[in-house]
């Protein structure tokens, strides 16, 4: 993979994250996290989120949760999963400032990434947020495309699970930066945040 030129992310004040594959282990294709016991954070995530929090940056999750539309779990069950996630982050002094969820199936809404409805909700709730002061961190082409549609910087988290797909390669090529984990991304581009 070609090395991209280093970029300065010091102006970033809003870090938008996908959930599965960025914060926690991604379920296998066609599977969903339906209970809080199934949510396993990836190594270093708690410290990376806490470092972003200490820096004064807002950390916001934007997640497609099609499993609700499929009837595999309810919004209330997802809320319990996210409360558990917040509790796990809090152990290391971290927190998410907001979590936005698309519960729809494909073609039913304007919020399912790569569409931009979740970003629009976040920008309404955080009026000081702008695309120029934000980055979208994801592990899929739809995450990167969504961030680019809004006009923000993007970062691709590269999976170690098997061979990368053509979509993974395209996402990595489109993203301004890439890393093997959220922890590595914070270390590399927000290194002054670690304390």
At residue 143's C-alpha, the angle toward residues 40 and 181, to 5°, is 45
Give the pair of three-digit tokens for residue 44: 């270093």
Q: What are phi and psi of 101, to 5 degrees?
A: -125, 135
Q: Which residues are catalytic?
A: 18, 20
Give the pair of three-digit tokens for residue 107: 């073609």
Instruction: Show Cβ contacts of residue 188 under 8 Å, excluding neighbours closer than 6 positions.
Output: 177, 179
Chain position carrying tokens 């200490």: 54
Query: Distance between CA atoms of 10 and 62, rounded to whole angstroms?
Result: 22
Q: Please, which contacts does 104-108 make with residues 24 or more away whose CB atoms are closer than 8 Å?
A: 104/66, 104/68, 104/69, 105/66, 105/69, 105/70, 106/66, 108/69
The DSSP H or E segment spanning 18 is none
């Amino acid at each position: 993979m070609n090395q991209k030129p280093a970029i300065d992310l010091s102006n970033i004040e809003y870090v938008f994250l996908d959930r599965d594959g960025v914060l926690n282990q991604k379920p296998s294709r066609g599977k969903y996290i339906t209970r809080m016991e199934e949510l396993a954070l990836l190594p270093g995530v708690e410290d990376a989120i806490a470092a972003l929090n200490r820096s004064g940056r807002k950390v916001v999750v934007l997640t497609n949760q099609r499993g609700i539309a499929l009837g595999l779990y309810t919004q209330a069950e997802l809320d319990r999963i996210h409360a558990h996630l917040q509790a796990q982050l809090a152990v290391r002094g971290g927190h998410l400032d907001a979590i936005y969820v698309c519960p729809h199936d494909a073609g039913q809404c304007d919020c399912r990434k790569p569409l931009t409805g979740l970003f629009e909700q976040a920008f309404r709730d955080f009026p000081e947020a702008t695309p120029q002061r934000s980055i979208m961190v994801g592990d899929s082409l739809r995450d990167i495309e969504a961030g680019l549609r809004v006009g923000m910087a993007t970062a691709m988290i590269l999976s170690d699970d098997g061979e990368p797909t053509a979509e993974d390669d395209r996402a990595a090529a489109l993203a301004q930066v890439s890393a093997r984990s959220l922890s590595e991304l914070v270390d590399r581009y927000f290194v002054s945040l670690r304390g």
